[in-house]
Copies of this chain bind each other. A is one copy, B any other.
């Protein structure tokens, strides 16, 4: 249990997206950069109201707000934000059961990751930074098959049936939350190469002006033409956004020079630079992805800036 608190109140990052969109990977990566002892990762799946058997019996999916204790999640996020401990419920993904709750202490950074974190105004008001993960759907299903079969005891058939059964709730409850994020992160394969995975996936960041994003001009110049692009665009809702594209095949040295520039924008965090962009690949081996590294860096930038605003001097 992390107890390391130097901030007046915790900085809270939201990571929301459908299941198998990479929430845990992003959360763990950022926690690694910031230092795990300063970070609490809170998975909102722990706030499921029903266990797996009850959801089947009631014909409800875990994606439905009614199948989650969202009012209690609101209460707990407010308490943590005020620096108070909570007794957090717990859901066991392997067994599909609800277990005994655990006492959780707030710490400097709290990463709240899950399905419905932006469902209500009260929830949305709890975050300093809001990220929404929206990978290409084929990529997401590949990720879901890999994880649910390996770690949660499902067969491929069961996973595909679950994807189908959840389609309605996905479009009704999960995807509409995209509009509330400060940053939408979309991993996707190069055109015509749907089978590409891992570090070769491209990533697109949709940056809404709801947060003061760093000046990316010099970053893009350093990226040059190949593999790095910043575009002014209209989002699907018609609102103006910056779109930052990073190609999976970006040259390693070039990517590192872009990372250098991003790091130079957060001098307060130079000591945090280890392990940027590392993840565990399909063969359970540690790997490095430059697009992932740059996503982590863009999010970390805002967390460190928010923390500076909260530091007790």
Contact = CB atoms under 8 A, between A and B. Distances in A.
Interface of A: 49, 51, 69, 71-72, 75, 79, 84-87, 89, 97-101, 103
A175 B89 CA distance: 32
Nearest to A76: B87
Contacts of A75: 79, 84-86
Please tell me how many copies of the chain the complex holds. 2
A48 to B, nearest CB: 10
A69 B87 CA distance: 9
A103 B87 CA distance: 12
A101 B79 contact: no
A86 to B, nearest CB: 8
A122 to B, nearest CB: 12
Contact of A103 (B69, B86, B97, B100): B69
Contacts of A72: 85-87, 103
Contacts of A71: 85, 103
Contacts of A103: 49, 69, 71-72
Find the residue from A75, A97, A101, A103 having the highest chain B CB count within 10 A.
Answer: A101
Nearest to A71: B85
Contacts of A69: 87, 103
Contacts of A84: 75
Given A100-B99, A100-B100, A103-B72, A87 B89 contact: yes
Contacts of A79: 75
Most buried by B among A72, A100, A103: A100
